[in-house]
Amino acid sequence: MSLTINLSGKTALVTGGGTGLGQHTAIRLAEAGAQVILASNDVPSIEETAEVIRQSGGEVLAIETDVSQPDSVSQMANQIQKELDGIDILVNNAAIYPSKPVEEVTVEEWDQVFAVNSRGYFLCAKAAIPHMREKNWGRIINISSITYFVPFSNLIHYVSTKGAAIGFTRALANELGAAGITVNSIAPGAFPTKAEEIHEDRDAYNQKILDSQCLKRRGTPDDIANTVLFFASDLSSFITGQSLLVDGGWAVS
């Protein structure tokens, strides 16, 4: 038996949807029938992704947005409301991940990472909730990280925001459940994206990841996109407040 996820008639906002796992997730949401909104301050990336979706027959809207800024998120939400009526599915994915030892992290850098990775989640959720309440249906999917569950060095600000994403998910799920809105988070493990280019010896890094996982293959973008599709669909309608590790068993190995 196979299950088909059909998101026709739904709008899905993917922040940071122009690159990496966010890009692939946005494309898969469009393939499932959703009208996709790509939001990022990296305009070339979302325009390129939008064109890929259009070429495949999907419906897409690309909006330049700084998710850390209330005015920018408000303008984005107003445009979505005007053109597409509102947001049914929110994938809070946009994040920055500078790497340096804790002693070298400045207050300004700490605040900037939290502004994008935590405040951005809050602002986008707040913008999406009114339409979801009106429809008595909504899906909020917050991207966390394996780094919250397995210690990582030189990422103190990033890891802290990914822990915050899990607390945010649980609190929001509790508050919005009566309105028919589910809120869940996904914690990806290590995936072969451009973020890995910081590692000079890619072969050694790849082997290190495989040695860390129970499953002896690298994750693929589809592993995350499929999980997002599940949480975005009615297949997960009785699941909320959960954080799902998609990590090949890294956290338990």
Q: Which of 110-124, 192-206, 213-227 has the lowest mean pLDDT?
A: 192-206
Whether the CA torsion 129, 221, 149, 240 is positive or negative: it is positive
- Is the predicted pLDDT of residue 193 greater than 80, yes or no? no
Contact by Cβ (8 Å): 90, 165:
no
pLDDT category of residue 124 using cuts at 50, 70 and 90? very high
- Is the predicted pLDDT of residue 122 greater than 60, yes or no? yes
Per-residue pLDDT at 205:
87
Per-residue pLDDT at 1:
43
Give pLDDT tens digits for 3-39. Answer: 789 999 999 999 999 999 999 999 999 999 999 999 9
- Is the predicted pLDDT of residue 84 greater than 60, yes or no? yes
CA of 208: how far to CAs of 65, 179, 199, 225, in Å?
Answer: 36, 44, 12, 24
Contact by Cβ (8 Å): 33, 8:
yes
Residue found by looking up tokens 């802290």 in the block: 160
Give pLDDT tens digits for 42-62. Answer: 999 999 999 999 999 999 999
Task: Spell out the alpha helix ranges (H) of the chain.
Answer: 20-31, 43-55, 70-84, 107-114, 120-135, 156-176, 202-212, 221-232
Per-residue pLDDT at 200:
73
11-252 fold = Rossmann fold (3.40.50)
Which residue among the candidates 97, 121, 158, 205 is catalytic per the annotation? 158
Contact by Cβ (8 Å): 83, 58:
no
Q: Give 216's DSSP letter.
A: S
43: left (phi over 0), alpha (psi -120 to 50) or beta: alpha
Average pLDDT over the chain reads 96
pTM: 0.96
Decide if 158 is catalytic: yes
Strand, helix or coil for residue 246: strand
Average pLDDT estimate for 159-166:
98
Structural domain spans, the chain: 11-252
Contact by Cβ (8 Å): 114, 136:
no
Per-residue pLDDT at 195:
67
Q: Helices 221-232 and 20-31: crossing angle, nearest 10°?
A: 50
- Higher model confidence: residue 152 or residue 170? 170
Structure tokens of 86? 């509102």
> What residue type is 132 in one-letter code?
M
Average pLDDT estimate for 235-239:
98
Q: Which of 31-40, 94-103, 188-197, 207-216 has the lowest mean pLDDT?
A: 188-197
Distance CA(193)–CA(49), nearest Å, equals 16
Per-residue pLDDT at 2:
59
